Structure 1
Amino acid sequence: MVADSRIAALVRDLSGRTDQALASLVVEQLAATAAGVRLARSAAAGELAPAVARQRMGAVEHEGDAGRALLVKRLRRSVSSPIDREDLFRLSRAVDDVLDALRDFVREFDLFQAAPSPAYAPVLDALAASLDHLSEAVRLLPAAPRRAADEALLAKKPGVRPRYQHAVADLLGGPVDADTLRDTLLLGRLDQAGTSLAAAVDALADGVVKRFQ
């Protein structure tokens, strides 16, 4: 029975089904992260009470963590992967870091009793656009790795860091008070999310270069 199970796993690996399954798990992680961006945007725009957004973010984070745990478990059992295991692990861990930064943003938005502000929207919009590109890149990874790498690099084009910098500059261009400092700190959380997203892009691109070029 054990031998039959191992043979079945080897057949899945050699047929490419394992690569597709592993990529799908990362896509699910990214979908949870995109949901986190939507929650952060709703709270920052005053469309959703911060306490409610914080509660819902807990469920989204649990979903992302469960997907990552399953990915790690399957990586241990698989013979193949769409890119080197180390790079796929780095990619998944960086996506998890993006969601952690969004969780901290929503949690602190509630704790600090921050007021809705348009300052957050450009950074959150850039994060959402970047996640869309990265999700498409991971979908392409098993069958078209070079196209996946090109699509992943587009995830850096929306420019999370420049939008963060412009938002902070606008805040500091006026009177600096407690609200300004609070908004600047919260924007820093979104910048952290952007940094982690860039690390996820690099992990995918590095993996493709090492394996296919």
Structure 2
Amino acid sequence: MAEVEHEGDEARAALVGQMRRSLTSPIDREDLFRFSRAIDDVLDAVRDFVRELHLFAAPPDPSYAAPLRALAAGIEQLTEAARLLPGRPRAAAEAARGAKKPGVRVAYQLALAEVLAAPLTPDTIKVTLLLTRLDAAGTSLAAAVDTLADGVIKRYQ
């Protein structure tokens, strides 16, 4: 995960450099910059989840599965939106909105409710904190979606 997060940082730096050299962009530069920052925040939150999983010596827990699946599906949808942005911005905005549909927040809430309804164990707090990291990644994913959609609406609607 550290490698993926580092690659994301490098890609973001390259995007910023490219924005300096380009005359136009598919959406306003400020929105494109905010979009890249929100994506970086997703990667940072997932990196923190993995790091803390190891730091806390937390055992694997099935409660991570649904939020992780929702997050992966949302990231996949947002990736498709980013690919569409240069040539088909309106389709990109629609695809981006689909990134919220897997429902990271709902998956987090359901998983947390299940963890807290079970008998408390020494690992309950670890699992709760780790689920919160996944929720943070979902919040950043939603911010990326909103930024892309806002940028397209400002420019094309």
The two structures have a TM-score, normalised by structure 2, of 0.97
Structure 1 moving runs of 4+ over 6 Å: none
User: After superposition, where does 1:133-144 map in structure 2 within 5 Å?
Assistant: 133-144=77-88
In structure 2, the residue matched to 1:186 is 130
* 1:59 aligned residue: 3
One-letter amino acid of the structure 2 residue matched with residue 138 of structure 1: A
Q: Which amino acid aligns with 1:189?
A: R
Matching residue of 2:90: 146
Q: Distance in 1 between matches of 2:44 and 2:85?
A: 25
Deviations 1:139-198 (A, max 9, x none): 111111111111110100000000000000000001123211110000000000000000
Task: State the match for 2:55 in structure 1.
Answer: 111
Q: Where does 1:15-26 land on structure 2 (aligned, <5 Å)?
A: none
Match of 1:175 in 2: 119
User: Hey, what's the Cα distance between the residues in 2 that align with 1:140 and 1:66?
Assistant: 21
Bigger RCO (CA 8 Å, 6+ sep): 2
Gaps of 5+ in 1: 1-56
What's the counterpart of residue 35 of structure 2?
91
Q: Do structure 1's residue 101 and structure 2's residue 45 form an aligned pair?
A: yes
1: CA distance between counterparts of 2:27 and 2:57? 43
| Aligned residue number for residue 155 of structure 1 | 99
Q: Indicate the residue corresponding to 2:13 in structure 1.
A: 69
In 2, the alpha carbon distance for the partners of 1:60 and 1:212 equals 33
In structure 2, list runs of 5 or more residues that go unmatched.
Answer: none
Q: 1:127 aligns with which of 71, 79, 89?
A: 71
Alpha-carbon distance between aligned partners in 2 of 1:182 and 1:85, rounded to the nearest angstrom: 40
Greater C-alpha radius of gyration? 1
Q: Percent identity?
A: 66
What secondary structure is seen at the aligned counterpart in 2 of 1:178?
coil
Counterpart of 1:163 in structure 2: which amino acid? A
* CA distance in 1 between partners of 2:143 and 2:10 (Å): 21
- What value does the CA root-mean-square deviation take over the aligned residues? 0.8
What amino acid does structure 2 have at the position aligned with 1:88? Answer: L
Q: Which deviates further from its counterpart, 88-97 or 171-180?
A: 171-180
Give the SS at the match of 2:59: coil
Shift of the alpha carbon at 1:77?
1.5
Q: Distance in 1 between matches of 2:103 and 2:115?
A: 19
Shift, 1:58, TM fit: 2.0
Aligned-pair distance for 1:107?
Answer: 0.6
